[in-house]
Amino acid sequence: MIYTVTLNPALDKTVEIPNLALDTVNRITKMRTDPGGKGINVSKVIAKLGGTSKAIGILAGNSGKAIQDALDGEGLAHNFRFVPGETRTNLKVIDPENHTNTDINEPGLTVTNADLDALLNDLLAEVHAGDIVVLAGSLPKGAPQETYRVWTSA
């Protein structure tokens, strides 16, 4: 099994705005939302290539529930731990006329060492010899810089 870990996932909201301009009203012509975060994106690519994986991570609030529901809708296996707060929403603005793509990313929720330890224990309870674990994406606020190093030595 391939496990993809996303500690700072996002609900990605992508909008299309032809001729985006500053200091004025802009009209969205297309919009969609997708579960996002580097590890989740890896799971989505694995599925498109015909493989299977399990997305693991931390979610919070209504946007976290929306991510979970979207993953269910896409048939992607997952095991997310919910914590207090709200999972970030990132805005992707595409201007097809000027061929630009602007990302506006929220900082995300704050986690505790207890949150991280609990998720690591969840992961270690599932992983077996021969499995692959992908640690991907930015760390949430509250996560020590050495989190990935600690997790790879567990």
Model confidence over 90-110: pLDDT tens digits? 999 999 999 999 999 998 899
Which parts of the chain register pLDDT below 50? Answer: none
Task: Report pLDDT for 154.
Answer: 80
CA dist 134 and 109 (Å) reads 21
Q: What pLDDT was estimated at residue 137?
A: 95
- pLDDT score, position 11: 97
Q: What is the structure's pLDDT at 124?
A: 96
